[in-house]
Amino acid sequence: MSFMQVEDLKVHYPIRGGFFNTVVDHVYAVDGVTMEFDRGKTYGLVGESGSGKSTTGKAIIGLEKITSGRILYEGEDVTNARRKRDSAYNRDIQMIFQDSHSSMNPRKRVLDILAEPIRNFLKLSPQEERKRINELLAIVGMSEDVLLKYPHEFSGGQKQRLGIARAVACNPKMIIADEPVSALDLSVQAQVLNFMKDIQEQYGISYLFISHDLGVVRHMCDHISIMYKGRFVETGKREDIYTNPQHIYTNRLLSAIPDIEPETRIERKLERQQVEAAYRQEQHKYYDKDGKVYPLKSISDSHRVAMSEDEKERV
Ligand SMILES: Nc1ncnc2c1ncn2[C@@H]1O[C@H](COP(=O)(O)OP(=O)(O)OP(=O)(O)O)[C@@H](O)[C@H]1O
C-alpha cells in the first residue's frame, strides 16, 4: 500500500505580454502527473532539460504553487498543508538539490545548518540537539571537527553529504533528490549514490530521484517515469524500461547513454542514428498515456498539446 499519492498534478506558468502585460499564454511545465510511492523504494524521474522534472519535485514538496491536482499523504489531502512550515508533511518529505552549496546559507556554520530542521520540527533540549547533530555527522561519515566550518570550506561531495545529513535530520519518509550527483566527479558520484542507498536500507527512506542521466537512474531506481513536455510518456519497473521500452522517446534517451564497451560502439551508433531519424519524424506528435496521438503546433511551442476540438478531429 503506497503511503503517498500525487494525482493529476499540473503547474502552468503564465506568460505575460502586450501593452497591458496581460496573460497571453502559459508554459505547461507539469501537465497532469500522477504517481504513487511505496516505503523504501526509489522512483526515477527522467527526461531532458525543460521536461518538467524539477518543477514536479518542487511542486510536491511545496516550493512551487500547484495549478491543479492533489497530493495525498498517509490518506490525507496535504495539497495546502505542504506549504505550512511546521506541518508533519514538511518534516517527513525533504529535498536535496544538485547545487548543495546554494541551498546552504554561506554565513552559517555546519552546526547551525544541521540544527535548523531539528529546531523547526523536533524541539529538542540543547544537549539532545547536539547529540542528534553528532549522530547525523556519524551517519554521513564526518567527524565533529567540521561543526564550526562554513559551506565554502568543503568539497562538492562533502557538501552533498552535509545536504543529505540535513535532509535526514528529522527521520524523513521520503527525500526528493534533484540531480544530486550531476555536479560531482564520476568517482565522487559513485560514493554519494552508494551512500544514499546505504541510508535508504538503514532507515527505509523512499527517494524520488530526478535525473537526466539514465545510467545513474539504472543504478538507483526501482521504478522509472519518463517525462516529456510536462507529462509522463512511459512509467514502469526498471527492467521493463531498460529492456523493453515502449515509447520512442524512451528509446531515444536509452540510445544516448554513452557506450563503454568498444566492441558494441559502432553497432550502438547505427542504432542511435536510426532512433534519431525516427524521432525527427515523431517530434511534431504528442502521445498521451493511453497512446492517443495529438499534433504539436510547433517545436518551439513545446509545452502545448493541440487543444482545439477540430484539431483533435483531424488526428
Ligand atoms: N518560474 C517559472 N516561470 C516560467 N517558466 C518556468 C519557471 N520555472 C520553470 N519554467 C519552465 O518550465 C519548464 C520545465 O522546467 P523544469 O526546470 O521543471 O525542467 P527540468 O526537466 O527540471 O529541466 P532541467 O533538467 O534543465 O532542470 C521549462 O520550460 C522551464 O523553462
Per residue in 215-272, pLDDT (tens digit) is 889 989 999 999 999 999 999 999 999 888 888 888 888 877 765 555 666 666 676 6
pLDDT score recorded for residue 62: 92
Residue whose CA lies nearest to ligand 1 atom number 10: 29
pLDDT of 192 reads 87
Which of 53, 97, 211, when mutated, tests ligand 1's pocket best, judged by the most ligand atoms within 8 Å of its CB?
53
- Tell me the CA–centroid distance for residue 289 and ligand 1, in Å: 21
User: Would residue 203 count as lying in a domain?
Assistant: yes
Residue 207 forms part of a structural domain: yes
Which residue has the CA at smallest separation from atom 8 of ligand 1?
55
Provide the domain limits for residue 46. Answer: 4-229
Q: How far is the CA of 13 from the centre of ligand 1 (A)?
A: 10
**Ligand 1 centre and the CA of 128: distance in Å?**
41
CA distances, 309 to each of 67, 229, 306 (Å): 23, 20, 9
Q: Could you tell me the distance, in angstroms and rounded to a whole number, from the CA of residue 169 to the centre of ligand 1?
A: 29
Q: Which class for 228: exposed (0-12), middle (13-18), buried (19 or more C-beta within 10 A)?
A: buried
Distance 89 CA to ligand 1 centre (A): 24
Q: Exposure pattern of 148-157 as b/e (b: 16+ CB <10 Å)?
A: eeebeebebb
Between 148 and 302, the higher pLDDT residue: 148
Q: What is the rounded CA–CA span in Å between residue 31 and residue 8?
A: 8
Q: Is residue 264 domain-resident? A: no
Residue 236's SS3 state is strand
- Tens digit of each residue's pLDDT (9 = 90 or more) over 188-208: 888 889 889 999 999 999 999
Please, what is the angle between helix 265-282 and helix 248-255, to 10°?
150
Is residue 234 in some structural domain?
no
Distance 27 CA to ligand 1 centre (A): 9
Query: Mean of the per-residue pLDDT values for the chain?
Result: 85
**Domain-embedded: residue 17:** yes
In tens, the pLDDT along 263-303 reads 666 666 676 677 667 666 665 566 665 666 665 544 334 44
Given the C-alpha cell 518538467, which residue does it identify? 52
Within a domain: 54:
yes
Nearest residue (CA) to ligand 1, atom 30: 50
- Structurally, how many domains does the chain consist of? 1
Which residues line the pocket of ligand 1, CB cutoff 6 A? 13, 27, 29, 47, 49-55, 212
Domain assignment present for residue 125? The answer is yes
Distance 245 CA to ligand 1 centre (A): 25
Q: Which residue CA neighbors atom 29 of ligand 1 most closely?
A: 50
CATH code for the domain in which residue 122 is found: 3.40.50.300
List the residue whose alpha carbon is closest to atom 24 of ligand 1.
49
How is residue 129 annotated by DSSP? H
161 belongs to a structural domain: yes
Residue nearest to atom 28 of ligand 1 (CA): 50
- For residue 47, pLDDT over 80 is answered with yes
Which protein residue has the closest C-alpha to ligand 1 atom 6? 13
Residue 37 DSSP class:
E
Q: What separation in Å is there between the alpha carbon of 307 and the centre of ligand 1?
A: 21
- What sign does the dihedral 39-40-46-49 (CA atoms) show? positive
pLDDT tens figures, 65-123:
999 999 999 999 999 877 676 788 999 999 998 877 778 899 999 999 999 999 988 88
